[in-house]
């Protein structure tokens, strides 16, 4: 169902890898709500070819960019503005990758060269995206930039490993850049702290099934899925949330403010 919440708006969506990706669902919802979009992902992800199906369904060009490469980002914003014939109204940063988790390294035994890479891909990249747009004056006033994060930035989830530190940095960048971009162009920047979600990145976390089941039991509304998250992104891209900026917004069925639930107590009593 469309309410045309994003009619006339132009957006760039990072991170649609396959039809489980949060970015994939968000692209579909943005298209449904009347937005014009450009899809982007790392060149290696584009080679898988999946994204072309989404591009066709959303009538969107695909422009490759590695989020750690400033030249790629500049090219992406330049080509996107050419395509739209104008500036950008919203950006979804839905990017994450832990090099140490991939290698199976425990948090107490990180390879720090790999950790730099993790922080660059998963956190500094939001700064890179914002700085590129800021320097190129690529965003329309009241534009909206959204990054995706996880509650391990505030509370310890041991197997989330170095990504907890990456997400803390990501949230801090959203706050700090949100200040500067707000003052300059009234552009807002927020992060959404999403429930555990079955995607390629999510399933990379050790013990993910236990993790997602526990969160389901600990959330009064249950876990928010990727479609719910996509809907929330649409609201943040729309004009209905113009005064929301520099926030970390929990989208987790109430998990973040729940001490314990009856379902968890009953499980423990078994
Ligand atoms: N799945 C979860 O449980 C969950 C929960 C909270 C937050 N998040 C966050 O949501 C975001 C999207 O993840 P997802 O769960 O949809 O998984 P996903 O694996 O579908 O998406 C991650 C994306 O990051 C892209 N990426 C990796 N390195 C890149 C690079 N160098 N340049 C450009 N793109 C690159 C990948 O190609 C992929 O498209 C991530 O930031 C993730 O941390 C996920």
- CATH number, domain of 18, equals 3.40.50.720
136 confidence band (pLDDT: 50, 70, 90)? very high
Q: Which burial class, exposed, middle or buried, applies to 189 when counting CB atoms under 10 A from its CB (0-12, 13-18, 19+)?
A: buried
pLDDT at 203: 84
Q: Give the active site residues.
A: 150, 160
Let me know if residue 3 belongs to a domain. no
Mean predicted confidence (pLDDT) in 63-79: 98
pLDDT at 37: 98
**Domain limits for position 195:** 10-269
pLDDT at 209: 87
Strands (E), the chain: 10-14, 36-40, 88-93, 139-149, 188-194, 248-251
Q: What is the Cα–Cα distance from 66 to 41, expressed in whole angstroms?
A: 7
Closest Cα to atom 5, ligand 1: which residue?
196
Let me know if residue 230 belongs to a domain. yes
pLDDT at 204: 82
4-36 tens-digit pLDDT? 999 999 999 999 999 999 999 999 999 999 999
Please tell me the total count of domains within the chain.
Answer: 1
Let me know if residue 2 belongs to a domain. no
Let me know if residue 4 belongs to a domain. no
Residue 109 is classified by DSSP as: G
Mean predicted confidence (pLDDT) in 201-222: 90
Of 90, 233, 96, nearest to 160 by C-alpha is 96
Out of 163, 201, 233, mutate this one to test ligand 1's pocket (max ligand atoms within 8 Å of CB): namely 201
270 confidence band (pLDDT: 50, 70, 90)? confident
Let me know if residue 5 belongs to a domain. no
143 lines ligand 1 (CB under 6 A): no
Mean predicted confidence (pLDDT) in 147-172: 97
């Amino acid at each position: 169902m469309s309410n045309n919440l994003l009619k006339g708006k132009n957006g760039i969506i990072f991170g649609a890898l396959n039809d489980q990706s949060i970015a994939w669902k968000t692209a579909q919802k943005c298209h449904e709500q009347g937005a014009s979009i450009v899809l982007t992902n790392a060149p290696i992800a584009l080679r898988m070819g999946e994204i072309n199906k989404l591009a066709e369904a959303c009538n969107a060009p695909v422009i490759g960019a590695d989020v750690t490469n400033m030249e790629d980002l500049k090219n992406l914003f330049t080509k996107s503005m050419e395509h739209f014939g104008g500036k950008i109204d919203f950006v979804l940063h839905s990017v994450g990758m832990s090099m140490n988790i991939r290698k199976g390294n425990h948090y107490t035994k990180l390879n720090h060269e790999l950790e730099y890479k993790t922080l660059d891909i998963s956190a500094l990249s939001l700064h890179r995206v914002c700085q590129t747009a800021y320097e190129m004056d690529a965003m329309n006033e009241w534009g909206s930039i959204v990054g995706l994060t996880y509650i391990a930035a505030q509370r310890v989830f041991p197997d989330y490993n170095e990504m907890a530190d990456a997400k803390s940095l990501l949230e801090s960048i959203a706050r700090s850049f949100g200040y500067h971009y707000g003052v300059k162009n009234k552009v807002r920047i927020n992060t959404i702290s999403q429930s555990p979600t079955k995607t390629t990145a999510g399933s990379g976390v050790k013990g993910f099934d236990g993790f997602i089941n526990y969160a389901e039991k600990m959330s009064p509304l249950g876990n928010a899925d990727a479609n719910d998250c996509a809907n929330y992104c649409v609201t943040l891209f729309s004009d209905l949330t113009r005064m929301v900026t520099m926030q970390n917004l929990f989208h987790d069925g109430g998990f973040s403010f729940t001490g314990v639930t009856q379902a968890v107590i009953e499980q423990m009593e078994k």
